[in-house]
Structure 1
């Protein structure tokens, strides 16, 4: 036994120096291997003659089948004098149910099967979704189609939705962050823009059940529908079921995308006084771009360098170095079919409102005048590429993105080009797009805060416009 212990000790004595003799390289010197080619599992696309587009994505991990029917046309197309109609449409469609099964009975039937059927509305679309065990698909799917084709839009359910929206209108000035988001949209797009207008008591209470029915009849036609199904099914069998259902729909007139003018904001300072707060919410804002812009990749890298996390220029300066904001961020926004918003936002104590705003403006100007370092460029590209894969790490996410691309008319390989696009971005590209797209003379500053505690005058930032957020009361004889 002693002999064995002695041998073990001698062996250890010989091995340990060998380990100490090895040279350890810093981890920063270890080369990063290239990412594998991005090839997500694509859904099957089926185009019907009546314009309906179907996407099928098999996923046998769990015994569920989920589906969505996206319908073109949303709140941006609703009449201005009925603003809020689509929000209520999304609720009343489901709560009313159908002639065969009202909404309450549908709730009970679905709850018994742990299934769901939901409706919703967005700025450019409405949607009908369902989810069930695969064994219940042949029960839940027909109920979904009944709701699609035979909604009842009951007046009493509309009245309930109107009351709920009226409550929201009455309380919309409670939250400073909500006020800021709302007013930034108005300043950038214009108060009358369908991308910024807001429901009022008069517009909400003026909506009728007939309005909802007319909208439904106008939009639920073959040329407006994109149907996507994912789950534990056989594609050939599912395709037949969907064809048998949706080929019966009339083609109808496709809902044309809204075309609008986007002149951008009138420069200046827009101030909303909220005397029950001790801090300011600030946004520096202007027009952004669309996702089909060839410069999207360079703009994405620029955003990452500028405000992509704790190591970004904006955070390091305004928050870490100067201590002027506990939350700061933003970037050059891009949406699918209309310009997004370029915004830089911060929350700060009232007395440092002007100082924080000036610090943000300085960083915006630095983005244009100081090229990114090689370290900034490398870190930004790596962060974008490493996080990109997690946006599409499931078949459900890939399906959702493919539906979105088809909805807006983007090429199906749009995602596959992303990796190469980001990898090609150079420091010169970042400087070029910063100079091209960011013009501080075309930016507006929106502040929501307490006028009595601001310290320095907002006039130091430019001409000030006081924004009235008083909520108009319901017209006489309308509502309570």
Structure 2
């Protein structure tokens, strides 16, 4: 059964049962629904070009549009520590700087005239390049897209603009308390020098030159390090022939081995405080290292997260927000990374006067997962919620292809998506309880509080030792500003 037919069957089947049962029961809890119908999720066509580029294709003829997404095996985690920010600048200036044959401004004008889009970026674990255009313009736009990936100009003036923007972002990095909480918490868990936590500074941005961008591109941008995903209104044979024509003569890169990326496996439990005096609330986060999706407890932890904060009826919302009135926003769960552990974290915002109560409330909920483990009813409702919402994550070819691109990039099994539903259905109450106890450990929690000293400091006085973090941003070097002004 296709996704669309599955949705129609599920909806009308539910309404039919509801109509029958509505006359026979007095409480909504007594309604009985049939099991979900079988769901058939289509798979993209997979082709590997002779140069090693992987191509995944899924047709979608609803609109005369074509979308291309390419994943490049790179990421800021491979940056040298003295040049943090290099990957982000490379991803940005690759697009803004244009190609050897078309300037960035000319490229903007061309795409605007075609109602097309081309974007490039590099984040922590991957580089991405994407394009969207009308079906009629696909051949021409794809050639320019290829040209941008193969022969970026890395225009010096566009680099200066990007560096100025990076400098401005550093100057504003303490404006948003949520940004402070996220940034500093990652440092506390992964370690301040881990590529998964470190952030650019004026000095590291100042160290980056155009030659560094060129070298980064030369190191990582090769077809055998790329996965191309194509979805939209196209003929598969014609599209593959065009891709082969545009990318096929790009030689594969030299043999390579990506560096191992270090991170802490266990942070020291403690309480940390970051001062921000223009706040009226306190932001709290606590937790430790999470897991990857390959972990055997992955499916059980999906249910744990749903029970903990997956809905307004979840434990954190019900107890901390509704019953105790300590927070408007509260969340928590065990985070999953694709190829490195995510963060297991509980967080909330609360009045500065209730900072200590908020800390203890979050810790109490983590402890309660063991003292009062998830009930069979909680597990049942959580599984139903996850399964009922799953179909909406695969209700279009674009969504399905996006998932398969990620699986291909991180070397997950090709049937990973098909495993999800039976994996959730097979989770037992005992497995959920064991996973909650194993992966949310209050005694290992690192706790971080961000807020004004006047209100937060007295609230933290009850704890024997609180470590204050220095989050001040030193001024940029004078020679750096002078160099940027010259452009």
Q: TM-score, normalising length from structure 2? A: 0.92
Query: Structure 2 vs 1, CA of residues 37 and 461 (structure 1 numbering), >3 Å: closer, same or farther?
Result: farther
1:13 matched residue in structure 2: none
2:9 matched residue in structure 1: none
Cα shift at 1:201 = 0.7
Corresponding residue SS for 2:416: coil
Cα shift at 1:222 = 2.2
2:220 matched residue in structure 1: 219
Alignment partners' CA distance in 1, 2:293 and 2:259:
16
Q: How does 1:21-40 map to 2 (within 5 A)?
A: 23-40=24-41
Cα shift at 1:204 = 0.8
Corresponding residue SS for 1:28: helix
Cα shift at 1:25 = 4.7
Task: Choose the corresponding residue for 1:454, options 453, 456, 460.
Answer: 456
1:168 matched residue in structure 2: 169
- Superposition RMSD on alpha carbons, in Å? 1.6
Alignment partners' CA distance in 2, 1:462 and 1:339:
30
Structure 1 contact 224–254 (Cα < 8 Å) conserved = no
Query: Structure 2 vs 1, CA of residues 32 and 462 (structure 1 numbering), >3 Å: closer, same or farther?
Result: farther
Q: Answer yes or no: is 1:394 the counterpart of 2:396.
A: yes
Corresponding residue SS for 1:147: helix
Q: How does 1:60-79 map to 2 (within 5 A)?
A: 60-79=61-80
Give the gaps of 5 or more residues in structure 2.
1-19, 483-487
Task: Choose the corresponding residue for 2:429, options 418, 427, 447.
Answer: 427
1:179 matched residue in structure 2: 180
Task: Choose the corresponding residue for 1:383, options 385, 390, 397.
Answer: 385
Alignment partners' CA distance in 1, 2:45 and 2:280:
54
Cα shift at 1:428 = 1.1
Deviations 1:189-220 (A, max 9, x none): 01100001010111112211110011111111
Query: Structure 2 vs 1, CA of residues 323 and 448 (structure 1 numbering), >3 Å: closer, same or farther?
Result: same
Q: TM-score, normalising length from structure 1? A: 0.93
Task: Choose the corresponding residue for 1:287, options 284, 289, 312.
Answer: 289
Cα shift at 1:24 = 4.3
Query: Structure 2 vs 1, CA of residues 297 and 462 (structure 1 numbering), >3 Å: closer, same or farther?
Result: farther
Structure 1 contact 76–124 (Cα < 8 Å) conserved = yes
Alignment partners' CA distance in 2, 1:453 and 1:366:
28
Alignment partners' CA distance in 2, 1:351 and 1:25:
45
Deviations 1:339-364 (A, max 9, x none): 10001000001000000110110000
Alignment partners' CA distance in 1, 2:221 and 2:120:
13
Alignment partners' CA distance in 1, 2:95 and 2:258:
25
Task: Choose the corresponding residue for 2:330, options 328, 331, 344.
Answer: 328
Give the gaps of 5 or more residues in structure 1.
1-18
**CA radius of gyration, larger in:** 1
Aligned residues: 460
Alignment partners' CA distance in 2, 1:185 and 1:54:
35
Cα shift at 1:53 = 0.6
